[in-house]
Amino acid sequence: MSMIKKILIANRGEIACRVIRTARELGIETVAVYSDADLNAMHVELADQAVHIGAAPVGESYLLGDRIIDAAKRTGADAIHPGYGFLSENPDFVDAVAKAGLIFIGPSADAIRAMGLKDKAKALMEKAGVPVVPGYHGDNQDANFLAKQANEIGYPVLIKARAGGGGKGMRLVEKPADFANALASAQREAQSSFGDPACLIEKFIQNPRHIEMQVMGDAHGNVIHLFERDCSMQRRHQKVIEEAPAPDMPEDVRQAMGAAAVAAAKAVNYQGAGTVEFIVDGSGPLRPDGFWFMEMNTRLQVEHPVTEEITGFDLVAMQIAVAEGQALPVTQDQITATGHAFEVRLYAEDPSNGFLPATGTLDILVFPTADNGVRVDTGVRQGDVISPHYDPMIAKLIVTGPNRNAALLKMSKALEELVVHGCVTNRAFLSALVIDADFAAGRVDTGLIDRKGADLTARPDPTAQTLALAALAAVRPADAEDPFANFRLWGAARQVVTFEGDPNISIFVETIASETNVTTPLGEVTFSAVLRNGPELWVEENGVKSRAIVHKTGHGVLVQTAGHDRFFKFFDPSASASSGKAGALTAPMPGNVIAVVAKAGDSVSEGDRLLVMEAMKMEHAITAAQDGVIAEMLVSEGDQVEQGALLVRMQEDE
């Protein structure tokens, strides 16, 4: 097979940029595809060529395989890399690529079909001798029949879309009374995300850990694994932090799991990069008979960088080599792991509001220095827009250290240096998670985040010092060329800064002799030294020097200290205050209304479900904030609404 000279990447964002980076190193040209929303996206800028393929919705652009193949032909590409998501696990697309005379950088359509439906895949794995979780994996989708199966399996059970992935179409059910609603919700989400509403029912493993094996196969029948990744830190079945190797992984368990993963891949004559995911009994020490096959992802995973960091292999380069027909460059006994790696996913989402996805413009985006074991994979830059059309991931931070503790400390430091403003993110949540006592000790399971959610998502109230730092940032020049940038705060004897609040926050800054006094509503703060150098603000208080990261915009000041950040908006007396209607319920995020449960005239109680919205292919129930009677339902099923749009109006008390 001839060498690949030009690759079209049938994807966008971070993974498209990731593939382009390796292709450049190999001397291979690249072609990007883009929608209306991605006209000025980073992956378009990095590629050698770019082709417009349609409107912003994925169904009108990135899911149109014929347009992508046509773009490859028009640009002279001889191969297509699917990335992950979109068409990466669509066997019909793989067939169409081959029919067009192009190389698909991934597994065969037959392998994808064999592993694409969870029920069929589990039957195949049982035949191959790979352990599987007890459950019902058949074709009968009658709701009463599935409820009966759940009773026989024994609660708690897990409903899973058979064509699913990424936590979509998955529901944990702890008692029979909740089964019917959970099944209906999972089926709707599965239909929306995968075009297939069918679900399977599995026994839910108590204290589960999610450990997966990276595999790679070639066209010559060789299959290897590149050790494991622990992806137990999840919320709503979506991964938050991944690490390699898994904490407290005994060597005999690693060998047994690796052998099972290789057997799974060989059962479908697997070629390319893939991941075999296992559910693991985490109630005690890991054991060779305590893990079960969940599914195989027939593509590159989001978390593949942690494997690259500990093994030294470029998995994208290996994918390309295998697609060219080359044999794997190493045998199993030649693969070694060194050190420990973590990856965190920075998302535009609101942890304090159920992790609802967020949108906005990245007014400030400063990544930690990409050296000394810190790697940043991203597809956005400062000034880019996080839109409601695509996954809200902003970047992945990957760190590597000689051991787990060292890598964890490095990750904590990297998150402190990361600055993002313009949309709500999970940065502070990630900072809290990496220093959590259980996580730091390696006591991980898939329920840890849910158990500690309140602590991990808590936002501390601002202190007098935080207010003082905000005021100093507001009056202090940030330009390093300013001749006074690194000296004590001079200027006006007394300055006042007012931020929006309820009531507004007025802060007075005054320099007297050698001291800077800041008077805030929470008390007075005295600094014996104040130094400003770009985004760094150093202050000395009671003989202790400390650093904050500050950014001043035209609207206010961002202050970031000890993992937490807060934006203080300048008070504008000329702006008219706006307030929402009393008794009105608004959309917490942009999305589609997929179900309306209540209607005008209904009496509802606090917590009752009123309607269901879908955002980023995930369902979100909108519930009553208080007891009352619905005066008007302002939306209908199928409506698309923006964040803050009025959904429901309640009757006002007489």
CB contact at 8 A, 444 and 282:
yes
Which of these is catalytic: 299, 375, 476, 532?
A: 299
- Residues in CB range of 255: below 8 A, 6 or more apart: none
Cα separation, 276 vs 264, in Å, equals 8
Identify each DSSP E strand in 204-318 by its residue range. Answer: 208-217, 223-235, 238-244, 272-281, 291-297
> Which pair of tokens denotes residue 239?
């991964």
Q: Which of 1, 23, 154 is nearest to 81 (CA)?
A: 23
Active site residue 287: no
> Which pair of tokens denotes residue 466?
């935080």
Cα separation, 459 vs 538, in Å, equals 23
Cα separation, 555 vs 360, in Å, equals 15
Kind of pairing between the strands at 340-347 and 393-401? antiparallel
Cα separation, 339 vs 342, in Å, equals 11
The answer, yes or no, to whether the previous bond of 247 is cis (omega within 30 of 0) is: no
- Residues in CB range of 513: below 8 A, 6 or more apart: none
> Cα 610–616–620 angle (5° rounding)?
20
**Element housing 603 (H / E):** strand 603-604
Burial class (CB within 10 angstroms; exposed 0-12, middle 13-18, buried 19+) of 175: exposed
Alpha helices, H only, 283-436: 304-311, 315-323, 404-417, 427-434
Q: Read out DSSP for 92-130?
A: HHHHHHHHTT-EESS--HHHHHHHHSHHHHHHHHHHHT-
CB contact at 8 A, 382 and 362:
yes
Let me know how long the chain is: 654
Cα separation, 149 vs 408, in Å, equals 43
Q: Which of 128, 149, 127 is nearest to 138 (CA)?
A: 149
- Residues in CB range of 23: below 8 A, 6 or more apart: 7, 29, 30, 316, 320
**Catalytic sites, residue numbers:** 299
